[in-house]
């Protein structure tokens, strides 16, 4: 498997670092008594990280939303932010940002 398809714990932690959320993730683990694992970090992304793939890909890390509803509203107000299919095809490791938005 090439690096573009590889989504491991380190890659996801790198995403959290870029989003300035790694400390919040570590606090989440401690608060909930969870171990640092691929399952824990994916669950964290599913419940705490809401950013359009295009914003993330372009480095607009400050356009992070608090809820899924806020992200959906942002995408509806800025339809160009929804153009994620080509990015995901090229960068499959961004697939973590697709959940719950289909």
Residue 53's pLDDT band, with cuts at 50, 70 and 90, is: confident
pTM of the model: 0.79
Domain boundaries, the chain: 3-97
CB–CB of 51/63 below 8 Å? yes
Query: For residue 64, what are its two tokens?
Result: 């992070």
**Cα distances (Å, whole numbers) of residue 41 to 19, 71, 90, 93:** 14, 20, 23, 14
Res. 90: pLDDT tops 80? no
For 9-25, how does the pLDDT look when each residue is reduced to its tens digit (9 = 90+)?
999 999 999 999 999 99
For 34-46, how does the pLDDT look when each residue is reduced to its tens digit (9 = 90+)?
999 999 999 999 8
């Amino acid at each position: 498997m090439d690096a573009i398809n590889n989504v491991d714990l380190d890659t996801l932690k790198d995403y959290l670092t870029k989003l300035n959320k790694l400390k919040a993730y570590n606090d989440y683990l401690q608060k909930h008594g969870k171990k640092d694992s691929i399952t824990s970090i994916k669950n964290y992304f599913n419940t705490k990280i809401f950013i359009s793939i295009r914003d993330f890909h372009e480095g607009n890390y400050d356009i992070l939303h608090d809820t899924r509803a806020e992200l959906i509203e942002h995408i509806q107000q800025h339809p160009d932010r929804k153009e994620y299919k080509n990015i995901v095809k090229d960068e499959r490791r961004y697939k973590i940002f697709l959940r719950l938005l289909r």
